[in-house]
Structure 1
Amino acid sequence: MIGFDGADWKTIWNWANSGKLPNFKRLIDLGAFGPLESTIPPVTPPAWTSMVTGKNPGNHGIYSFARIIKTENGWKKLIYTSRNKKSKELWDYIDRTLVINVPFTYPPRRINGIMVTGMLTPSLDSEFTYPPEFRNELLEQIPDYIIELDWSKYVGKEKEFITHLYKMTKKRIELFWYLFDNKPWRLMFFVFIGPDRIQHILWGTREMEEYWKYLDGFLGEVLEKIDHETLLFIVSDHGFGKIEKTINLSLVLAKLGLIKERGSSISSVTKWLINFAKKTGLLIYFAKLYGLLPEFIKRKILESSRTQVELINPDVMYECEGAFAAVYLKRKDKRIISKLKQELYSLKDPYTNEKVIAKVYEKSEIYFGKCLDSAPDLIILPKEGYTLKNYGDLIDVAYFQNGDHRLYGIFFAYGSGIKRRYKIKNAKIYDIAPTILHIFGLPIPNDMDGRVLIEIFEEDSEFTRKKPKYVNSSYYEKKYEDEKLKKAIQKLKIKGKF
């Protein structure tokens, strides 16, 4: 399994069929393919976790980047880690597994195989591998290995970003081939984070296209090297698309009296330039002009325009993540929910007179399961072309960031027993885990929310002939305990004590 974080279905489909990505086109001609519906919201932490657990966020407990916890004195905000997952993952069922750079696997944990953590790993100095000793082996083989690239730190430094992006990706490919050739594995789950990073700031550019061609070349090497007994899945956690404007959620909440705006430190000159662009109708060109500005001015515009706010209602907390925003309530207040929904749905872009909010969900509309209590009470999704922030005017031009997440990622399957030129429909991100277990001939825990994508297999294949088997979720716990007992008895036999 190869994951390309942020790979967008429409983009990859169009580029593959236009000849820009010939190896993705090979997958279309020789395998099953289609859009893969992400989680709502389509954000990295819950999406990848749903893929590897087979469950919706309400059953695995990961909703965003940060946990918002209700306390007696207000709210506490903590970053999610792998320890917060409330579910087993694919590598808990399958032995000899290589898990590389999958987001939200830090800190690493014991598996039957090798794990190299990815997103939110503090540094190369941390313990980011299992087994721990593999860290030294990795750094000996690939001394300049790079775990992550934070696109938000490259305001006005796009050329430097591109250099670092390719360096990171080349090192990732070196690790792929080292593991592929030298380590025993039955399942290899390897994620490239680069597509997401470049698409946030260089969406629709020549640089983005060239980077995807580079990845397509790597894919071609994989297709040439795998044997006829190996199945290949290509997946992504969510799609991507262009953004042109931002919505300042802080101002909406301030209007309703839920927070208090302290104002912005934006300079009078910058404010005059932006207002002039708005009044003269040049706002739509401001993002393009922004790209031509000197680096220090770019940074000044972005850093100085943040809205300073304070919470004045202790019963309300919120977070903005661009592709979505979430509101947490200490108690379910129907009045607040109703007022907030009404205000959000009435928001219009003053330049187009179009509404800017696509949907406001209550948590019970999209999540279900044992972890529902910790979910945000409201999930807000902007319309395409907009992103949610906590700075700028109510509706403002997007300066540095010009791309954000969409609902549909990619799914490609290739190999013996897989249908050719078959376009799958209605595939969801939590269908991946049960499908993988079925391929390995393993029973599927009945607490998984996904289904086996049985339609991707040829009618006479072994995967179609054997029907998916479902078992109680305690099945694997008992199996694990039985194996521990067998190993303990074997040790006693060796010592002559049994």
Structure 2
Amino acid sequence: MSRRVIVVGLDSAPPELLFGRMLEHMPNLRAMVEAGLHGPLRSCDPPITVPAWQVMSTSASPGRLGLYGFRHRKGHSYAEAWTPNSYSVRLPRIWDVLARHGKRSCLIGVPPAYPPKPLKGWSVSCFLTPPNAERYTHPADLRREIEGLVGEYLFDVKFRVEDRETLREKLFEMTEKRFDVVRHLATTKPWDFFMLVEIGVDRLGHAFWKFFDPGHPRYVPNNPYERVADEYYRLIDRRLGELLELLDDAVFLVVSDHGSKAMRGAFCINEWLIERGYLKLDQAPEGAVALDGASVDWDNTRAWGWGGYYARIFLNLEGREPRGVIPGGRYEEAREELAEELRTIKRPDGERMRVAVFRPEELYPAALGNPPDLMVYFDDLDWRSAGTVGHGGLYLSENDTGPDDSVHSMDGIFVLYDPTRRYARRVEGASILDVAPTVLELMGVPAPGGMEGHPVGLLGKQEVPPRSHGNEVRPTKPAQRSV
């Protein structure tokens, strides 16, 4: 039987919080957890907003999508880069498959969604929408409808700032407006599939984690923002409750693209490569600068890295890079030598870091586009990668791109709630690749060939008794893969 399905995406929502201490502040989510299926949702490698939401929407790994983060190297250039947009994804997404079966979709903020592409239904762009964009909806006149409802629509907030008070106000305003639009479209448009992504959950973590988590290395007791996470998640739960009441015929999936946790610091990957003789500068910079702004001696450089939640390492290969120095016949040997050295990196206290080094072709069925030669996670992603140089050391207590309190983690959340059925159980081993096949199964539409995931088991259905409150549930974490 075909059902209407709504996917509520909470960017960066971690199971440790939502199935733990926050559940007491979220009675609607708690009722969904108790009556439905729930558990951790394993993200993709890397666990980054782009590509993760498209991995979820296509059931295809980042390698097949050719998406490895927010920005990508252009060809084999040393400095040029490009940012994914809505036309970067060429594999069919959930809504593309549904359109072939005559079903209509409504999408709000599913990145990358700019510029808006035609679809069978309605869409509103995402946080990647540039300032003052004239067109951010499909169809185009939907913009007037939205602005008539909420005024200026907020796609994102500036979150790497010191002014937390203004940020807090804009964060709550953005999320309230987003859910006003969700409510309006969900109750006025004839949709079969609805999907929204709230980026504010991610921004909350980056801007306020050290204020609400006593385990954060820079936590200060009795600070003015100690309850901000409780307040924000109550807002999310209140708006979720409204949708539950209004859409009592729909199956709900509440999911996140990855988790988040306290940031321990940033490891200066290019400073380390300089120390080890892999990266050569003509002269040391005066203060911290991006590698693009430094004077790099490419004729004597063997490798360099990009910053972010993980390090992307590129080898300067002869015949591939414009001024490559590593002979092509030594590529695999050079890559393995560097990988072994990376695994010896230590923390500031002298203890060895847990460094996971990945080769893209070993992670994915295919590694298309412009993949790095090596992908590196520092200390289970507790440490960011800092790509800037000129710090005079390997470790930073803060992000090198601005104030930031959190990093991404591998496990997001998965909750499936059907108002006509009772599952009342926890699921283990669900993957971000499984969401699209699960939606299609619920909607009675066959999944196309090539999807890498499988429907999450929907056995053990019973009629739903009245909602009740239960105990907190704390998920376990699957083992980290490494090369």
Please confirm whether the aligned pair reaches a TM-score higher than 0.5, indicating the same fold: yes
1:317: Cα distance to partner?
5.2
After TM superposition, list the pairs within 5 Å mapping 1:230-245 onto structure 2.
Answer: 230-245=250-265
Gaps (5+ residues) in structure 1?
267-303, 462-498
Q: Which amino acid in the other structure matches residue 187 of structure 1?
A: F
Aligned to 1:486: none
User: Alignment partner for residue 372 of structure 1, among 344, 368, 374?
Assistant: 368
1:318 is aligned to 2:324: no
Distance 1:442 1:310 in 2: 55
After TM superposition, list the pairs within 5 Å mapping 1:310-389 onto structure 2.
Answer: 310-313=295-298, 316=303, 318-321=305-308, 323-329=309-315, 330=317, 333-351=331-349, 353-369=350-366, 371-372=367-368, 374-384=370-380, 385-389=382-386
Structure 1 pair 171–187 and aligned structure 2 pair: CA distance change class (3 A): same
1:92: Cα distance to partner?
0.6
Aligned to 1:291: none
1:250: Cα distance to partner?
1.2
- Judging by fraction of residues, say which structure has more helix: 1
SS, match of residue 107 in structure 1: coil
1:50: Cα distance to partner?
0.4
Structure 1 pair 105–356 and aligned structure 2 pair: CA distance change class (3 A): same
> 1:293-346 CA deviation, whole Å, 9 max, x = no partner?
xxxxxxxxxxx687763443377553211x211123455622432332223211
1:219 is aligned to 2:240: yes
Distance 1:366 1:311 in 2: 31
- Contact 1:59–1:86 under 8 Å retained in 2: no
Distance 2:241 2:419 in 1: 18
User: Alignment partner for residue 39 of structure 1, among 21, 44, 48?
Assistant: 44
1:368: Cα distance to partner?
1.4
Aligned to 2:150: 142
Aligned to 2:424: 421
SS, match of residue 74 in structure 2: strand
- Contact 1:356–1:386 under 8 Å retained in 2: no
Give the percent of matched residue pairs that are identical in Structure 1 and Structure 2. 27
User: Alignment partner for residue 409 of structure 1, among 409, 412, 420?
Assistant: 412
> 1:181-230 CA deviation, whole Å, 9 max, x = no partner?
21111111011100101201211512223211221222222223221x21
SS, match of residue 214 in structure 1: helix
Aligned to 1:117: 125
> 1:405-449 CA deviation, whole Å, 9 max, x = no partner?
000000000014654321111111011111111111111111111
Q: Which amino acid in the other structure matches residue 47 of structure 2?
A: P
Distance 1:263 1:33 in 2: 52
- Contact 1:9–1:408 under 8 Å retained in 2: yes
- Contact 1:424–1:456 under 8 Å retained in 2: no
Aligned to 2:201: 195
Q: Which amino acid in the other structure matches residue 309 of structure 1?
A: A
- Judging by fraction of residues, say which structure has more strand: 1
- Contact 1:434–1:444 under 8 Å retained in 2: yes
Aligned to 2:474: none
Gaps (5+ residues) in structure 2?
1-6, 213-225, 321-327, 464-483
- Contact 1:16–1:22 under 8 Å retained in 2: no
Distance 2:295 2:112 in 1: 30
Task: Out of 137-146 and 33-42, give the one that drifted further.
Answer: 137-146
Distance 2:107 2:196 in 1: 6
Using the size of structure 2 for normalisation, the TM-score is: 0.80
1:21: Cα distance to partner?
2.3
Distance 1:96 1:177 in 2: 17
Structure 1 pair 311–305 and aligned structure 2 pair: CA distance change class (3 A): closer
Aligned to 1:180: 186
Aligned to 2:4: none
User: Alignment partner for residue 273 of structure 2, among 245, 253, 274?
Assistant: 253
